[in-house]
Structure 1
Amino acid sequence: MISLGCSVIPMGNRNLVFTAFWRDLLRWKRTIGAVNAVLVFGLIASFTALVVVASGDLHWDALLKANFEAVTQSIPIIALSFVYQNVVPVLCTNLEGDLSKVRSAIVFGTAIPLALFLVWDGVILGTITTFGTEADKIADPLQLLRSTNGIVGPIVDIFSLLAIATSYIGFVLGLADFLADLLKLPSGPNRPLPYLLTLVPPLILSLLDPEIFFKALDFAGTYGVLVLFGLLPAAMSWSDRYSESAQTPNIPPLVPGGKITLSLVFGGAAFVILSEIVENFAHT
Structure 2
Amino acid sequence: MAQETLGVWGGNLVTVNYLFLGYTTMVAYSSKSGLIIHNLINLPSTVSGFFFTVFFTILISVGGTRITDNVNQWLTTTMIGILLAIEVSVVLYGGWTGLDGSSNWGNIPATIPVIIFSLVYHDLLPVICAYLDGDLARIRASFIIGSFVPLFTLLIWDAVTLGLSAHADLVIDPVELLTRVQWSGISVMVETFSLLAVGTSLIGTLLGFSQFCVEQLNNFAKNSTSSSAQTLKLEENFEPRVSRNGQRKLFDPKKWWRTNKLGFTATTLVVAPSLFISTTVPDAFSAATDIAGGYCMTTLYGVLPPVMAWVMHTRSSNKAIVNNIDQNNEAGSDGSVSLLSMKPAWIGVGLISGGIVIDQILEDLSKLHP
TM above 0.5 = yes
Distance in 2 between residues matched to 1:79 and 1:69, nearest whole Å: 18
Write out per-residue CA displacement over residues 158-184 of structure 1, whole angstroms, 9 at most, x where no aligned residue.
Answer: 112211110011001101111111221
Aligned counterpart in structure 2 of residue 98 of structure 1, from 121, 125, 135: 135
Distance in 2 between residues matched to 1:30 and 1:19, nearest whole Å: 19
Does the C-alpha gap of structure 1 residues 30 and 254 become closer, same or farther in structure 2, counting only changes over 3 Å? farther
* 1:233 match: 305
Distance in 2 between residues matched to 1:87 and 1:60, nearest whole Å: 37
Does the C-alpha gap of structure 1 residues 207 and 66 become closer, same or farther in structure 2, counting only changes over 3 Å? closer
Q: Given the alignment of the two structures, is residue 10 of structure 1 paired with residue 54 of structure 2, yes or no?
A: no
Q: Given the alignment of the two structures, is residue 107 of structure 1 paired with residue 144 of structure 2, yes or no?
A: yes
Aligned counterpart in structure 1 of residue 266 of structure 2, from 188, 194, 203: 194
Cα displacement (A) at 1:95:
1.0
Distance in 1 between residues matched to 2:265 and 2:80, nearest whole Å: 33
CA RMSD of aligned residues (A): 2.7
Distance in 2 between residues matched to 1:23 and 1:254, nearest whole Å: 44
Secondary structure at 1:243 match in 2 = helix
* 1:263 match: 347
* 2:208 match: 174
Q: Given the alignment of the two structures, is residue 43 of structure 1 paired with residue 79 of structure 2, yes or no?
A: yes
8 Å contact 1:234–1:265 — kept in the other structure? yes
Task: Give the gaps of 5 or more residues in structure 2.
Answer: 1-33, 219-226, 238-259, 320-331
Q: How does 1:114-133 map to 2 (within 5 A)?
A: 114-129=151-166, 131=167
Cα displacement (A) at 1:243:
2.6
Task: Give the gaps of 5 or more residues in structure 1.
Answer: none
Cα displacement (A) at 1:30:
1.5
8 Å contact 1:77–1:217 — kept in the other structure? yes
Query: How many pairs are equivalent?
Result: 278
* Letter aligned with residue 31 of structure 1: I
Higher radius of gyration, 1 or 2? 2
Distance in 2 between residues matched to 1:261 and 1:255, nearest whole Å: 11
Identical positions, percent: 28
8 Å contact 2:117–2:293 — kept in the other structure? yes
* 1:34 match: 70
Does the C-alpha gap of structure 1 residues 142 and 149 become closer, same or farther in structure 2, counting only changes over 3 Å? farther
* 2:122 match: 85
Aligned counterpart in structure 1 of residue 315 of structure 2, from 218, 240, 243: 243
Cα displacement (A) at 1:5:
9.5
8 Å contact 1:82–1:110 — kept in the other structure? no
8 Å contact 1:62–1:126 — kept in the other structure? yes
Secondary structure at 1:165 match in 2 = helix
Q: Is the deviation greater in 196-205 or in 139-148? A: 139-148
* 1:211 match: 283
8 Å contact 1:54–1:145 — kept in the other structure? no
Cα displacement (A) at 1:250:
4.9
Write out per-residue CA displacement over residues 27-82 of structure 1, whole angstroms, 9 at most, x where no aligned residue.
Answer: 31121111111010011011111222233214545255554433332222111111
* 1:252 match: 335
Distance in 1 between residues matched to 2:52 and 2:360, nearest whole Å: 34
Cα displacement (A) at 1:211:
2.2
